[in-house]
């Protein structure tokens, strides 16, 4: 068998042979089905594309009206309500959204099928809606910012001076420019969306490449995982190329920036205090739990919430409230570890790249480009699946796809700083390289790095929970929130509290992190 597969050859020879075959479109045969991998990929890709296209259509139909309404009635109750929806939508785990939609629209109201294996338009509504929720929340804010930025252009002032109504200016001129730019941004999201379908396809049994990849990971089908990673990266790069070309064609020298108002009122430390309390809560979780989170008692199996068990019990009779408290430490500190390691590695790489330039810059940026070529979740699924090392693999995979962002930010900032007069003055006073980096470069990088890191905490929590939900993160009996939801999804109809408890924990924690990130961003912008 090893000789047939070429596994007896040296690793370098195996890789060169695989690369030669891959360039011809031959990714070998599946270990499980025996079918050529490329044939299976081509069969399942249309289903994934159709799902992503429907999700994008839903996103456009929802985000544009909401974003325009929010911009038109800026700082009113409508604007604040839409902003609250955006924060909530960005904080909801995709798999939690999917399970909630299934619970209400399939199990309770019987409007859509539970599984999407059958044909018909109803089978794709819930999976597409799941993907559209978070995207709508994201792009509603983008549309709002784009509309507000466009309203500040000189031609708008001229139109107002000619007596044109605000509605005519908005829908006749502003919306056209915003639409073109948002279409470009949607192309940028399409690649990530294709990669992010894995969880949704798995939940709804949608027969696409995402479900194919998750099944391959569970069966350790390496050729399928390799093909999925390579082809999704190729699609991702192609869509980004199209978006870059469109952006270049549309760029007329305008400065398109975020137009969130810069408030000057006294800074509110509430979110910082809340985040600190949450961190302290997670650190002391073991002492706060009323029961042993791992103690099984089948006599107490699936008890609903009560005075004795505030959040009920799971199938093994374990107290859910105690497991939520225990899981806080795993989920929160894992996300903090990913963000801290990514920020440290990326910032150091960016500093050396920008300061030394030349070959060092070329090598480091080419390495970062390799990781940037993959949609984050696609790489994390493939890497974690091959590594098969539980939470360690999930954390390492997320660090690998996250550090290049920090490296790019640091490098660009260093390139701008190193030629400024105060750096030249520091050289003339005899300061060495390390001293200049420590005294002058790092303090000027701290602001943007901290903002990016704080904004990333919530995202990392969602991705860790997503990997655990797929069985690629925390392993049983660990009380990680994503794993808890995965283990309890079969009881969605009979014992919904098993799903709701960890889902709400993820949502509220990510919401606090996102609000804190937004507060830090505004503070740094004002400073």
The yes-or-no verdict on residue 314 having pLDDT over 90 is yes
pLDDT at residue 261 in the model: 46
433-457: string of b/e by CB count within 10 Å (b at 16+)? eeebbeebbeeebebbbbbbbbbbb
pLDDT at residue 222 in the model: 85
Query: In which band, very low, low, confident or very high, does the pLDDT at 151 lie, cut at 50, 70 and 90?
Result: confident
| pLDDT tens-digit readout, 447-473 | 889 989 998 999 999 999 999 998 888
The yes-or-no verdict on residue 506 having pLDDT over 50 is yes
| pLDDT tens-digit readout, 355-392 | 888 888 899 988 988 888 777 888 888 888 777 778 88
The yes-or-no verdict on residue 263 having pLDDT over 60 is no
pLDDT at residue 113 in the model: 87
Percent of the chain at pLDDT > 90 equals 33
pLDDT at residue 4 in the model: 55
Q: How many residues does the chain have?
A: 527
- In sequence order, which residues have a C-beta less than 8 Å from that of residue 504 and are 6 or more positions away? none
pLDDT at residue 119 in the model: 61
In a 13 Å sphere around the CA of 214, the CA atoms on its Cβ side amount to: 25
Query: In which band, very low, low, confident or very high, does the pLDDT at 305 lie, cut at 50, 70 and 90?
Result: very high
pLDDT at residue 344 in the model: 95
Mean per-residue pLDDT, 46-50 = 90
Mean per-residue pLDDT, 281-296 = 88
124 vs 274: which has the higher pLDDT: 124
| Residue 407 DSSP class | H
pLDDT at residue 118 in the model: 55
Domains in the chain: boundaries:
49-206, 314-526
Query: In which band, very low, low, confident or very high, does the pLDDT at 404 lie, cut at 50, 70 and 90?
Result: very high
CA distance linking residue 61 with residue 523, whole number of Å = 33
- Asked whether this chain's domains 49-206 and 314-526 adopt the same fold, the reply is yes
The yes-or-no verdict on residue 406 having pLDDT over 80 is yes
Taking the CA atoms of residue 384, residue 385, residue 386 and residue 387 in that order, the dihedral angle to the nearest 10 degrees is: 40
Min mean pLDDT across 139-143, 236-240, 254-258, 370-374 is at 254-258
Query: In which band, very low, low, confident or very high, does the pLDDT at 510 lie, cut at 50, 70 and 90?
Result: very high
Beta bridge partners of 313: 319
49-206: CATH topology: MetI-like fold (1.10.3720)
Percent of the chain at pLDDT > 70 equals 91
pLDDT at residue 3 in the model: 56
Residue 243 in 3-state DSSP? helix
Query: In which band, very low, low, confident or very high, does the pLDDT at 14 lie, cut at 50, 70 and 90?
Result: low
pLDDT at residue 260 in the model: 47
CB atoms within 10 A of CB 336: 17
What's phi and psi for 36, nearest 5 deg? -55, 135
- In sequence order, which residues have a C-beta less than 8 Å from that of residue 370 and are 6 or more positions away? none
pLDDT at residue 7 in the model: 57
Structure-block tokens of residue 494: 């009979």
Query: In which band, very low, low, confident or very high, does the pLDDT at 5 lie, cut at 50, 70 and 90?
Result: low
Query: In which band, very low, low, confident or very high, does the pLDDT at 168 lie, cut at 50, 70 and 90?
Result: confident
CA distance linking residue 406 with residue 454, whole number of Å = 12
Return the CATH class of domain 314-526.
mainly alpha
Quickly list H helices, 256-389: 270-283, 285-288, 320-356, 358-372, 376-387
pLDDT at residue 256 in the model: 43
CB atoms within 10 A of CB 213: 29
pLDDT at residue 114 in the model: 82
The yes-or-no verdict on residue 46 having pLDDT over 60 is yes
Min mean pLDDT across 181-195, 301-315, 354-368, 409-423 is at 181-195
389 vs 404: which has the higher pLDDT: 404
Min mean pLDDT across 1-15, 82-96, 370-384 is at 1-15
Q: How far apart are the first and last CA of the chain?
A: 65
Q: Which residue from 399, 406, 297 is spatially nearest to 350, judged by alpha carbons? A: 406
Contacts 24+ apart (CB under 8 A), 166-174: 166/72, 170/68, 170/72, 174/147, 174/150
Quickly list H helices, 357-495: 358-372, 376-387, 390-417, 421-428, 433-436, 442-469, 481-488
Query: In which band, very low, low, confident or very high, does the pLDDT at 499 lie, cut at 50, 70 and 90?
Result: very high
Q: What is the mean pLDDT of the chain?
A: 84
Q: Are 173 and 134 in contact (CB under 8 A)?
A: no
| pLDDT tens-digit readout, 227-250 | 888 888 888 888 777 777 766 665
């Amino acid at each position: 068998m090893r000789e047939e597969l070429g596994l007896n050859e040296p690793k370098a020879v195996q890789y060169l042979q695989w690369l030669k075959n891959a360039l011809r479109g031959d990714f070998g045969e599946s270990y499980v089905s025996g079918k050529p991998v490329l044939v299976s990929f081509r069969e399942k890709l249309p289903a994934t594309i159709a799902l992503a296209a429907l999700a994008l259509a839903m996103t456009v139909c929802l985000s544009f009206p909401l974003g325009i309404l929010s911009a038109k009635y800026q700082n009113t109750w409508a604007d604040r309500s839409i902003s609250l929806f955006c924060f909530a939508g960005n904080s909801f785990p995709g798999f939690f959204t999917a399970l909630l939609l299934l619970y209400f629209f399939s199990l309770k109201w019987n409007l859509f099928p539970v599984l999407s294996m059958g044909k018909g338009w109803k089978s794709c509504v819930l999976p597409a809606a799941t993907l559209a929720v978070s995207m709508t929340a994201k792009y509603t804010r983008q549309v709002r910012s784009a509309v507000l930025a466009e309203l500040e252009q000189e031609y708008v002032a001229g139109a107002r001076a000619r007596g044109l109504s605000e509605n005519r200016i908005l829908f006749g001129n502003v919306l056209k420019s915003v639409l073109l730019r948002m279409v470009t941004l949607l192309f940028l999201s399409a690649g990530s969306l294709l990669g992010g379908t894995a969880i949704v396809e798995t939940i709804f049994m949608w027969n696409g490449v995402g479900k194919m990849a998750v099944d391959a990971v569970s069966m350790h089908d390496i050729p399928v995982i390799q093909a999925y990673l390579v082809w999704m990266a190729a699609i991702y790069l192609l869509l980004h190329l199209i978006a870059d070309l469109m952006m270049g064609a549309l760029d007329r020298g305008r400065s398109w920036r975020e137009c969130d108002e810069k408030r000057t009122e006294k800074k509110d430390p509430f979110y910082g205090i809340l985040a600190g309390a949450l961190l302290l809560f997670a650190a002391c979780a073991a002492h706060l739990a009323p029961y042993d989170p791992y103690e099984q008692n089948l006599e107490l199996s699936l008890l609903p919430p009560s005075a004795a068990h505030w959040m009920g019990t799971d199938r093994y009779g374990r107290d859910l409230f105690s497991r939520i408290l225990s899981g806080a430490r795993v989920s929160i500190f894992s996300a903090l570890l990913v963000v801290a390691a990514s920020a440290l590695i990326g910032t150091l790489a960016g500093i050396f790249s920008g300061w030394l330039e030349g070959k060092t810059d070329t090598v480091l940026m080419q390495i970062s480009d390799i990781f940037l070529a993959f949609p984050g979740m696609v790489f994390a699924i493939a890497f974690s699946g091959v590594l098969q090392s539980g939470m360690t693999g999930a954390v390492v995979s997320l660090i690998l796809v996250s550090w290049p962002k920090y490296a790019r930010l640091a490098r660009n900032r260093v390139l701008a700083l190193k030629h400024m007069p105060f750096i030249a003055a520091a050289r003339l006073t005899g300061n060495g390289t390390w001293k200049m980096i420590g005294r002058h470069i790092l303090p000027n990088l701290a602001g943007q790095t901290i903002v990016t890191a704080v904004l990333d905490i919530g995202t990392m929590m969602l991705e860790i929970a997503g990997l655990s939900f797929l069985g690629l993160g925390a392993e049983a009996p660990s009380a990680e929130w994503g794993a808890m939801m995965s283990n309890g999804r079969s009881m969605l109809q009979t014992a919904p509290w098993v799903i709701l408890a960890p889902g709400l924990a993820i949502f509220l924690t990510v919401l606090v992190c996102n609000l804190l990130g937004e507060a830090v961003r505004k503070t740094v912008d004002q400073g």
